[in-house]
Amino acid sequence: MANRASHLFARESDRGSKVALIFERETYTFADLAKRVRHAAGGLAALGIAKGTRVGLMVPSSPDFIVMQQALFALGAVVSPLNIFYRTNEVAHAIASCALEHVVMPVDLRDRIPNRSASTPSLKSVVLIEGAIDDDDRFASLIAAMAESTPPTDLVAVADEDVAMLLLTSATTGKSKGVMLTAGNLTANYDRTPEWLRLDGSAVILCALPLYNTFGLNQCINAMLVTGATMVLLPRFDAAKCIKAIERYGCTFLPAVPTMLQKIIDDPAAASGALRSINRIMTGGAPVPAALLTRVLNATGADTVVLTGYGLTEATALVTLTPVRLGPDGEVEHGRTIGRVLDGMTLGIMDDAGQLLEPGAVGEIVVRGPNLMRGYLNAPDDSAAALAGGWLHSGDLGYIDAEGYAFIVDRKKDVIIRGGQNIYPADIEEVLYQVAGVAEAAVVGRADDVLGEVPVAFVALLPGANVSAQLLAARCEVELARYKQPAEIHFLPELPKGSTGKILRRELKPRALAMA
């Protein structure tokens, strides 16, 4: 059966007494989680939530998130995890984009819910996990509903084509949309991820990722439930607490974006041997520089497998994967590759006319397979454009070499056209990252009266690093054609990032204009 809660109840059956989750030193077995899920499902059903009901889940990283998610799955509801840092207008947009009928949240986030208005006509109620409610009829108490309900004994039947999750695309490019992922999408991608990552029931996963994001949903929660592994969950990322948790619980698998890895490795405790239990790391969202990889392997052990990949919410999750290795020259092998396409999918490079290109040619990265979303909710034109010709059009520019390794050149919309010549920011950023002491780098375009656009670089340095703009400019002069060299280089303490650690170029563009 395709019901997404079936993994949890299978683990209750085959290893119910095993510790599934550790959170703030409290332990929960698979049987504990399954019991909680049944009771929560009974309460949610009593509030009118059933198969196909669209429900927002705005819950911090905690056991409550997992219990609520699995209870909603058990009922056949459609789950939309929401960023817990959304403000009221962002919550309103999420409700409207995903036509949410209910939102589940803790009482201390209730002030984020917008008043009833024409902008949120679908919303019927807000379900408070705990705490008292007042006379505002927008709110319902799950605790009260659970007390009056009978836990269901069977999972609701779900077909492969039924929508199981509605995920908001990243808001880094304007207003987000609801991505419809079916139960079949999740089976084809989420459930195969542990196999691709070589995870099994012996793994101890450290999760310091936000659970409302695909990275945490897939490589933490789902990996735990599919394999029967134990997951150590932190309420938020903190480098020192990550190190302590790894040492205390013998964590073996660390999923983290490169900025998280950098902060963990920068902590003095990382050199104490506390990370030696880690034997597998999954990262993504940015290249792993050779200097960072060297420090990671020094801290965890030379045999640690470091993996990077490429994924898209519209493609469910992972699309490519590759180990990140140091070559004999001390540089990362296939330095900027995102890896080869995973089993069951096809990766291609397409030109603007919709023709697939030969190896080495730059074009738009396109994906085909059983993992492609059904489409964007209530957005037929956007859906048709994104899935034109049966391919998912990523909006990323790249190429595939003769060995099948894929490389991202840049986002289509991030291409800078200077005097009629295309500049890909990643080319400049790669040079900047090669300079010792550079922690982060991003390049954006700024309007120019003569040339149309010029590239402007923003750089953040490692603590104690002594790097000047003149030094970086000199390196660019050596490594880059003149038209690619940054018009200006500015330093910031840290580059702005979204919740997943991705650098937000859109926040740098106004700075580039203001500094002109």
Under 8 Å between Cβ of 459 and 441: yes
Q: What is the pLDDT of residue 427?
A: 82
Cβ contact 70:8 at 8 Å: yes
Count of Cβ atoms closer than 10 Å to residue 295 Cβ: 18
Q: Is residue 410 predicted with pLDDT exceeding 80?
A: no
| CA dist., res. 474 & res. 273, Å (int) | 38
| Average pLDDT of span 312-341 | 89
pLDDT of residue 106: 95
**Distance (Å, rounded) from C-alpha 47 to C-alpha 490?**
54
**In the structure, what pLDDT confidence band is assigned to residue 455 with cuts at 50, 70 and 90?**
very high
Q: Which two tokens stand for residue 255?
A: 């999923």
Q: In whole angstroms, give the CA distance from residue 333 to residue 330.
A: 9
Instruction: Tell me what the mean pLDDT of segment 493-502 comes to.
Output: 86
Gap between the Cα atoms of 17 and 209, Å rounded:
26
pLDDT digits (tens, 9 = 90+) for 223-243: 999 999 999 999 999 999 999
* Whether the Cβ atoms of residue 284 and residue 308 lie closer than 8 Å to each other: yes
pLDDT at 169: 81
Q: What is residue 171's predicted lDDT score, i.e. its pLDDT?
A: 39
Question: How is residue 158 written in tokens?
Answer: 């779900």
User: What's residue 234's pLDDT?
Assistant: 98
Q: Which residue has the higher pLDDT, 33 or 169?
A: 33
- Helices 30-46, 6-15: crossing angle, 10 deg rounding: 140
Beta carbons of 181 and 169 less than 8 angstroms apart: no
Residue 6: per-residue pLDDT: 98
pLDDT at residue 377 above 90?
Answer: yes
Q: Residues 391-404: pLDDT tens digits?
A: 999 988 999 999 99
Statement: residue 413 has pLDDT above 80: no
Distance CA(168)–CA(82), nearest Å, equals 8
More confident residue, 136 or 355: 355
Residue 282 has pLDDT above 80, yes or no: yes
Asked if residue 185 lies in contact with residue 316, where contact means CB atoms within 8 angstroms, the answer is: yes
DSSP-assigned states of every residue in 351-378: -TTSPBPPTT--EEEEEESTTS-SEETT
Cα–Cα distance measured from residue 311 to residue 192, given in angstroms and rounded to the nearest whole number: 14
445 in Cβ contact with 416 (< 8 Å): yes
Sheet containing strand 438-448, strands side by side? 438-448, 452-461, 488-491
Query: How high is the pLDDT of residue 414?
Result: 78
Q: What is the pLDDT of residues 143-194, one digit of tens each?
A: 999 999 999 989 999 999 999 999 988 533 445 789 999 999 999 999 999 9
Its pTM stands at: 0.85
pLDDT at 93 over 90: no
Number of Cα atoms under 13 Å in the Cβ half of residue 465: 20
Give the model's pLDDT for residue 420.
Answer: 66
- Structure-token pair, residue 400: 């595939």
Q: Which pLDDT does position 1 carry in this prediction? A: 62
Do the Cβ atoms of 418 and 438 come closer than 8 Å?
Answer: no
Q: What is the number of helices (H) and of strands (E) in the chain?
A: 16, 26
Q: Is the pLDDT of residue 516 over 90?
A: no
Q: Six-digit token pair at 54?
A: 């669209």
For the chain, give the mean pLDDT. Answer: 92
Contacts of 278 (CB under 8 A, 6+ apart): 246, 251, 252, 253, 254, 300, 301, 304
- Greater model confidence, 43 or 483: 43
Mean pLDDT of all residues in 22-47: 97
Q: Taking the mean position of all CA atoms in its chain, how far away is CA 385?
A: 23
Residue 194 is inside which H or E element, if any? helix 193-197
Residues sharing a CB contact under 8 Å with residue 305, sequence separation 6 or more, in sequence order: 198, 279, 280, 281, 323
Q: Chain-centre distance of CA 351, in angstroms? A: 27
CA dihedral sign, ordered 372, 374, 377, 380 = positive
pLDDT score of 215 more than 50:
yes
pLDDT given for residue 491 in this prediction: 96
For the chain, the 3-state helix, strand and coil shares in percent, each to the nearest 5, are 35, 25, 40
CA distance 185 to 178: 15
Q: In the chain, what is the straight-line distance between the N-terminal and C-terminal CA atoms, in Å?
A: 59
Query: Residue 114 pLDDT > 80, yes or no?
Result: yes
Question: What is the DSSP annotation of 94-137?
Answer: HHHHHT-SEEEE-GGGGGGSPPS-TT-TT--EEEESSS---S-T
CA distance 497 to 491: 15
* Neighbouring C-beta atoms of residue 35, cutoff 10 Å: 16
Token couple for 356: 């697939």
What 3-state DSSP class applies to 338?
A: strand
Are residues 332 and 289 in contact, defined by beta-carbon separation less than 8 angstroms? yes
What whole-number distance in Å separates Cα of residue 78 and Cα of residue 98? 10
Report pLDDT for 285: 67
Strands (E), 197-278: 204-207, 230-233, 253-255
pLDDT of residue 174: 44
Burial letters 60-96, b for 16+ CB under 10 A, else e: bbbbbbbbbbbbbbbbbbbbbbbbbebeeebbbbbbb
